Amino acid sequence: MGQNKIRSKQELGILLRNKRKEMGFKQKELAIKASVRQPLISDIENGETNVKFDTIIKVLAALDLDLTVIRRQKGPFDPTQY
């Protein structure tokens, strides 16, 4: 898995869903590994929730992913897109 630019909770959800499926986990299995509820995994994957940052970190860790922050390469900031 290479670098992925995430600029919305929907894009994050898609990335997490794809990684979960790639690893062969069901949502319930990921939820147990990340110590969260399964419906929360579903909401995150569908971009339908504002979750705590520490919850995202737990889910990323459960999927063997790290978070990296880089300078925006192109495009202005438009807060209406978030």
In the predicted model, what is the mean pLDDT of the chain?
A: 90
Token pair for 53: 């940052």
> Which of 6-10, 18-22, 36-40, 77-81 is predicted least confidently?
77-81
Pick 9-71's CATH classification: 1.10.10.60, 3.60.20.40, 1.10.10.10, 1.10.260.40.
Answer: 1.10.260.40
> Which of 7-11, 34-38, 39-43, 51-55 is predicted least confidently?
7-11
Q: How many Cβ atoms from other residues are within 10 Å of residue 29's Cβ?
A: 15
Q: How many Cβ atoms from other residues are within 10 Å of residue 39's Cβ?
A: 11
7 has pLDDT over 80? yes
Residues whose CB falls within 8 Å of the CB of residue 22, separated by 6 or more in sequence, listed in order? 1
